[in-house]
Homo-oligomer: A and B are copies of this chain.
Amino acid sequence: MTTTGRPVRITDVAALAGVSPGTVSKALNNTGALRDSTRARVREAADRLGFVPDPDARWLSARRSYTVGLLSADSAGRFSIPVMLGAESALAAGRMAALLATSRRDPVREVFLVESMLARRVDGLIVTGRTTDPRPPVDLGGSDIPVVYAFSPSTDPDDASVFPDDAHGARLVVEHLLATGRRRIVHVGGRPHQHSSTERAEAAQRALADAGLGLAAPTLFGEWSEAWGRQAVDVLLRTRDLADPDADLGFDAIMCGSDQIARGACDRLRELGVAVPERVAVTGFDDWDVMALASRPPLTTVDLRLEELGRRAAELLLDAIAGRPHHGRELMPMRLVPRASTG
Contact = CB atoms under 8 A, between A and B. Distances in A.
Contacts of A97: 99, 101, 116-117, 120
Given A81-B81, A226-B294, A260-B294, A102 B88 contact: yes
A287 B290 CA distance: 15
Given A260-B294, A290-B290, A67 B102 contact: no
B98 A85 contact: no
Given A290-B260, A294-B260, A84 B59 contact: no
A100 B99 contact: yes
Interface residues of A, number: 36
A236 interface: no
A100 B70 contact: yes
A55 interface: no
A75 interface: yes
Interface in A69-115: 70, 75, 77, 81, 84-85, 88-89, 92, 95, 97-102, 112-113
Contacts of A95: 116
Nearest to A116: B97
Nearest to A67: B120
A102 B89 contact: yes
Nearest to A87: B100
Contacts of A85: 75, 77, 102
A85 B95 CA distance: 23
6 contacts: A26-B31, A32-B32, A85-B102, A89-B102, A95-B116, A227-B294
